[in-house]
Structure 1
Amino acid sequence: MANRLAASLSPYLRQHADNPVDWYEWGEEAFAEARRRDVPIFLSVGYAACHWCHVMAHESFEDEQVAQALNAGFAPVKVDREERPDIDAVYMQATQALTGHGGWPMTCLLTTDGRPFFAGTYYPKPQLLALLEGAGQAWTTRRAEVEDTSGKVVEALDHLSSPPSSGPISDTDLEAAVSRLVREFDSARGGFGGAPKFPPSMVLEFLLRHHARTGSEPALEMAARTSEAMARGGIYDQLDGGFARYSVDADWVVPHFEKMLYDNAQLLRDYLHLWRITGEPLPRRVADETADFLVRRLGTAEGGFASALDADTDGVEGLTYAWTPDQLVEVLGPDDGAWAADLLSVTERGTFEHGTSTLQLRSDPDDPQRWAQVRERLAVARDQRPQPARDDKVVTSWNGLAIAALAEAGVLLQRPDLLEAARRCAQFVVDQHLVDGRLRRVSLDGTVGAAQGVADDYGNLAEGLLVLHQATGERRWLDVALDLLATARALFTADDGGFHDTPSDGEALVSRPRAYGDNAEPSGQSALAHALVTASALTADDDLRSAAEQAVAASSAVAQRDPRFGGWLLATAEALTAGPLEVVVVTPPAAADEREPLARLAWLSPLPGLVRVSGTLGSDQSPLMVERPLLEGRPTAYVCEHHVCQAPTTDADTLAVSLGVQVARLD
């Protein structure tokens, strides 16, 4: 049976196009069919790089017996959570409320009007068949009970979506968040909590900002220890750069092998900022390699960045990445093979599965040149192996994260190629995803989808464009970002000054989703709050700052109660507490190149809430450059706090003292 997914824009849905299950995409057609046949909706939510989604697909959705049961008794609906995060958010909240946990694939049973009456995650074939039989009987013989359950679930969703108590985040709150993180910190292994361990990218940014503002040594220690442990573990690709989604163990040894754009974009900024503070070679190397991974492995022909690399290769998790000692010898010869096995913790017993090992680099090699040669030979050999599939869809929000990271990397690492990659991505997303003044969520191969952008699309893209504006001095990125924020405030603002995830004129779901905490990526609320902070500093617009303060206050309860799920909001609060700080570097047209030392010092400063603009005298590249004359006709820097400026300076040493940067870092 040919289902309806073959023409979908989603690579995940296309993976299921040949299933014997008669899948529908989410929409009125599916619900109309459910009403016509008087059957419940079977909702399956996942994403293209998801290992257990593949397992359930092979076990169940490719199975004729399961397909027959689904087709006969249900209207089966497939949803790509990355294309429709709004649908995912609503039913994941229901799943967590009903089961106490969540994950993907997500399996929900819905009434014909979309109310959930059962929810779970992965089910092996026997359990799934039992579930379908039991649910079918309940639907037929105990309909009133099903309707009552679904009504109670929706009531619970409405309660969960109501705003918690809130208020501004104070200095004391930020100190308390660090203290709570200290109690949860794994001092032996880095990171927070036990297995599985996820890269705490937004928490790392908060800790680095808190250290930069206050000098807190515990904050820096947690950030540095975690960053080093991840970079030396199997979760980091020692041959190709880039991080896997998470570690299944507490020691960062065995990754869940999928590589996500949003993780790597956020971690790239973390390692850049750690290097900016410490000057240590490890975070700089990881930043360089991760930036290269993004461009090389996730860059699309159109200029955007693909969503992910799959967890599996030919149906086997980790097939591309794991090694045995014999395989190392086969590639490198006996001497280098044995040396590499010892260096990379590849053992006869194995650290992964079936006697294979992930690659770890627990200490820097004594012979860096030998390691560089070995690394290159192993990378070439690995490229000859079967490779994981790539989810080529371009997600607006995650590309915004990539634009910000690559723009910063281009400036801080002095790599024009990365800055150009950020610019090219921004041009593509603005040209293709911005349709009639509104953002669309995804595109594939240059074709934009119908799904409307959600709050984090607007917030993360605006933030990326604001960073790109600072890195390039090009006014157009600031103008687009300000337009996006104005649109977002009109579409998403809630009564308490925070933001809903979905637009006010969007599709009516059984509950309007609104995330109060950050998860693997910034919530829509914190993404917009952060972009508003940056925009307010770049424009000296107090209204934008006030909107940011209200958004932070609206989500403060979650960040204060569990800072591990409020990292980006806490980082935003750090920027609000320290800023606004502005550095403006002005040069005469004939001496544009001479601004570099002053501009670079501005970028090397880790102070939160700091924005940086530079350009020639009389340009309109930034509102902050208005009425900024030259001093003695030379490149001149203005350092301003709360829009009140210190005396301008042409001296790098003086500027360095103002920004807390050592002039030696210019080298």
Structure 2
Amino acid sequence: MAHESFEDLETSELMNKFFVNIKLDREERPDLDKIYQVSYQLLTNQAGGWPLTVFINPDTLQPFFIGTYFPKVSRYGLPSFKEVLGGVYHYFNENGAKIKEDGLAIKKSLQKMETSLDTNSKEPDHGLVLSLFTNLQEYFDPENGGFGSAPKFPPTHKIDFLIKLLSDREVGQKDKNMAFLMADLSLKMMADRGLYDHVEGGFFRYSVDQKWEIPHFEKMLYDNAQLIRLYALMYKISNNPHYKEVVLSVSGWMTNKMLSDQNLFFSAIDADTDQEEGGTYVWSEDEIEQLLDSNEYLILRQHFGLDQATNFENSFHLQIKRKLADVAKEQQLSLETAIQLKQAALKKLLQAREMRAQPEVDTKLLTGINALTISGLSACAIALDDEELKSTALECMNSLLLLNYRDDVLYTQPTYASNEVEGFLDDYAFTINAIMHTLELRWNTEYLMTAICLASRMIEQFYDSKNGGFYFSSKAHQGLFHHSKNFYDDATPSGNAVAAKVLLRLGFLTGKLDFIDIAEQLLKTVNTHMKSHLDATTSLNSVVMEYLQPIDVVILRGFKNDLELWQSQTRKLLKRRTICYAIPESESDLPEGLSSKIFEGVIVAYICHGFSCSKPINDFKNYQEYLTDSSARAQ
């Protein structure tokens, strides 16, 4: 609409004559986007989308007419935007009372959506976890992975839940096998087929078909940040080398293409090149053959199915059609040789692709998305024992706090951004989560104290102490006709879910009982609501799992060299559901929950489960035996 209508002289004259026009970036003001998207659903009984065109009453800020896309001229059964402008103008001037009445009805409907919350509800039990698992099995696609039909989005929250289920002590082995199959097949199919960029790395936004073959070619940082973490976790569980390749390829794309000079990541890459969907990414067979030598071409031809029909507008969008091992065997090559030929070929294709016109990059340095990315990179660094990933995560964490956290307030963008807005719930919760992850990479007491300060402000500004749960917007966000609580996942996990998780973890680590109490109350408040919205509250269900069975936390105190050895062994032997913090003996002024974990002249380990901790272990052999036993119990 920006190109078609807003830049059109006749249309823009009508807009300026009749209206005060505000063009809003939904990522800069997600609070407004969420309110008006839900309002659209209430008014039309249809799912929302972007662009979103909203006409609001200037006195109440309540919407009275909402649509999505309107063309420059009437087509597709839609009126032109000029017709809409004229119609809305006359309707507003002739129906003042009804507009006020309808706006009030929308506000009441938004308020009613939260009345299902029950502050007196019982705490959630394991039946909630099993109900979601049963639900996921019903919608699982056993042929292509993922859930449901087209369009298919990466089911990050569902896969995360399934991976956590593998360590659940109340789930039987048969169900764990099914959970593994569902997660494994989904990750495999997404990485093998067209959702994945086989030339450069990175996942596209979604697949337009059920088989993950043809994507919408936009690349979002938040998708890739979450996906690399899942591939890293599954690599640790399954030892599938392809998952490690995916992690390194995607993280390489992120640092090469998405990392700014400020050591924060850009938000997205557009789908279109010169207004042509996917123009940068697709190939003709002749192009590929001319770029490669004969051996390289033969490998790619069979591996990516270039000997089959084209799959995207008379061109090829690359996806694996035959296993490389099978291609190598047919061509009487070793797998190692085939891998080398494939890598050399893809390098040539990337060099050629870089010479084409490129899609635009959304260069906003958003707090919440960067925090998600830090968490993802940290998980990858631990799973792969990769120093480069560790360094990137730590540098990004430092930049995020340096640029986006000022005077004890977290902002959505750096200091120099044109639109300075205090962070929303997601920004606070995701940033605390990122700090907790980086503390596993390298202990920093100052970071821990920052996390505590952020958590305290999150509670002060967003928490509803009367009815439970966190509002998406804070007391600092003025001018909203409704403050909403969002318990549902969308492309990113629910802010309430992440808030509950970090408060539980911070509370147990530091001994702050008020953090744990708020997390418990949140889970109780939303318990009944979750039962009727299982699919939409998957991330909350993952937190329920952790609430019922707290993760083991290993706290090491000692000299740096000793800490590195013990921490390495911890990660090697305890593959799942364990957090390990290596705190140097020189660190002081620790919170109450940590100050009792003292250094005793030699390295010492404390293994904690909730508030219950083992006796200190200072013998390396005994520690290895404990880890081996614990790992066996977790299988």
Scaled by the length of structure 2, the TM-score of the pair is 0.89
| Residue type at the aligned position of 1:123 | F
**Distance in 2 (alpha carbons) for counterparts of 1:654 and 1:231:** 37
CA-based RMSD of the aligned residues comes to: 2.5
Secondary structure, in 3 states, of the residue corresponding to 1:240?
Answer: coil
Map residues 354-503 of structure 1 onto 2, 5 A cutoff: 354-366=313-325, 367-443=338-414, 446-447=416-417, 449-494=419-464, 495-503=466-474
Q: Deviations over 1:439-496 (max 9, x none)?
A: 111238x547321211010000000011101211122221111110000000101123
| Residues 561, 239 of structure 1: alpha-carbon distance in 2 compared, 3 angstrom cutoff | farther
**Distance in 1 (alpha carbons) for counterparts of 2:438 and 2:270:** 29
Q: Deviations over 1:342-369 (max 9, x none)?
A: 31234664212x2122211245412222
Secondary structure, in 3 states, of the residue corresponding to 1:502?
Answer: coil
* Contact in 2 for aligned 1:538/1:611 (Cα 8 Å): no
1:119 aligns with 2:82: no
* Contact in 1 for aligned 2:296/2:342 (Cα 8 Å): no
Q: Which of 6, 27, 30 is equivalent to 1:85?
A: 30
The residue number in structure 1 matching 2:147 is 192
* Contact in 2 for aligned 1:242/1:294 (Cα 8 Å): yes
> Deviation of residue 398 (structure 1)?
0.9
> Deviation of residue 500 (structure 1)?
0.3
> Deviation of residue 244 (structure 1)?
1.1
> Deviation of residue 621 (structure 1)?
8.6
> Deviation of residue 627 (structure 1)?
4.7
| Residue type at the aligned position of 1:66 | T
1:60 aligns with 2:5: yes
* Contact in 1 for aligned 2:305/2:322 (Cα 8 Å): no
| Residues 430, 144 of structure 1: alpha-carbon distance in 2 compared, 3 angstrom cutoff | same
* Contact in 2 for aligned 1:615/1:621 (Cα 8 Å): no
**Distance in 1 (alpha carbons) for counterparts of 2:633 and 2:243:** 18
* Contact in 1 for aligned 2:166/2:180 (Cα 8 Å): yes
* Contact in 1 for aligned 2:150/2:207 (Cα 8 Å): yes
Q: Deviations over 1:365-404 (max 9, x none)?
A: 1222211111211122111111111111111111111111
Q: Which of 304, 307, 310 is equivalent to 2:270?
A: 310
Question: Where in structure 1 are there 5+ consecutive unaligned residues?
Answer: 1-55
Q: Which of 138, 142, 152 is equivalent to 2:105?
A: 152
> Deviation of residue 589 (structure 1)?
5.3
**Distance in 2 (alpha carbons) for counterparts of 1:504 and 1:161:** 18
| Residue type at the aligned position of 1:507 | Q
The residue number in structure 2 matching 1:173 is 128
The residue number in structure 2 matching 1:28 is none
Question: Where in structure 2 are there 5+ consecutive unaligned residues?
Answer: 326-337
* Contact in 1 for aligned 2:152/2:210 (Cα 8 Å): yes
Secondary structure, in 3 states, of the residue corresponding to 1:481?
Answer: helix
**Distance in 2 (alpha carbons) for counterparts of 1:90 and 1:183:** 31
| Residues 195, 543 of structure 1: alpha-carbon distance in 2 compared, 3 angstrom cutoff | same
| Residues 593, 606 of structure 1: alpha-carbon distance in 2 compared, 3 angstrom cutoff | closer
| Residues 619, 258 of structure 1: alpha-carbon distance in 2 compared, 3 angstrom cutoff | same
> Deviation of residue 499 (structure 1)?
0.2
* Contact in 1 for aligned 2:296/2:344 (Cα 8 Å): no
| Residues 590, 433 of structure 1: alpha-carbon distance in 2 compared, 3 angstrom cutoff | closer
**Distance in 2 (alpha carbons) for counterparts of 1:168 and 1:223:** 28
**Distance in 1 (alpha carbons) for counterparts of 2:509 and 2:289:** 56
| Residue type at the aligned position of 2:223 | D
**Distance in 1 (alpha carbons) for counterparts of 2:589 and 2:190:** 39
Map residues 640-655 of structure 1 onto 2, 5 A cutoff: 640-647=608-615, 648=617, 649-651=619-621, 653-655=624-626
**Distance in 2 (alpha carbons) for counterparts of 1:207 and 1:549:** 23
The residue number in structure 2 matching 1:613 is 581
1:267 aligns with 2:235: no
1:521 aligns with 2:466: no
| Residues 358, 537 of structure 1: alpha-carbon distance in 2 compared, 3 angstrom cutoff | farther
Number of positions where the alignment pairs a residue of Structure 1 with one of Structure 2: 603
**Distance in 1 (alpha carbons) for counterparts of 2:109 and 2:597:** 56
| Residue type at the aligned position of 1:536 | G
* Contact in 2 for aligned 1:537/1:580 (Cα 8 Å): no
| Residues 373, 562 of structure 1: alpha-carbon distance in 2 compared, 3 angstrom cutoff | farther
Secondary structure, in 3 states, of the residue corresponding to 1:108?
Answer: strand
> Deviation of residue 289 (structure 1)?
1.6
**Distance in 2 (alpha carbons) for counterparts of 1:268 and 1:286:** 8
Map residues 19-38 of structure 1 onto 2, 5 A cutoff: none
The residue number in structure 2 matching 1:205 is 160
> Deviation of residue 189 (structure 1)?
1.0
1:130 aligns with 2:83: yes
* Contact in 2 for aligned 1:167/1:556 (Cα 8 Å): yes
**Distance in 2 (alpha carbons) for counterparts of 1:383 and 1:364:** 27
* Contact in 1 for aligned 2:280/2:359 (Cα 8 Å): yes
Runs of 4+ in 1 over 6 A off after TM superposition: none
* Contact in 2 for aligned 1:587/1:594 (Cα 8 Å): no
**Distance in 2 (alpha carbons) for counterparts of 1:261 and 1:661:** 36
> Deviation of residue 85 (structure 1)?
0.5
> Deviation of residue 132 (structure 1)?
1.9
* Contact in 2 for aligned 1:492/1:504 (Cα 8 Å): yes
| Residues 202, 552 of structure 1: alpha-carbon distance in 2 compared, 3 angstrom cutoff | same
Map residues 242-391 of structure 1 onto 2, 5 A cutoff: 242-346=202-306, 349-352=309-312, 354-366=313-325, 367-391=338-362
* Contact in 2 for aligned 1:517/1:555 (Cα 8 Å): no
| Residue type at the aligned position of 1:170 | D
Among all aligned residue pairs of Structure 1 and Structure 2, give the percentage whose two residues are the same amino acid.
Answer: 27
| Residues 167, 121 of structure 1: alpha-carbon distance in 2 compared, 3 angstrom cutoff | farther
> Deviation of residue 265 (structure 1)?
0.9
**Distance in 1 (alpha carbons) for counterparts of 2:440 and 2:500:** 18
Farther-moved stretch of structure 1 (156-165 vs 175-184): 156-165
* Contact in 2 for aligned 1:332/1:374 (Cα 8 Å): yes
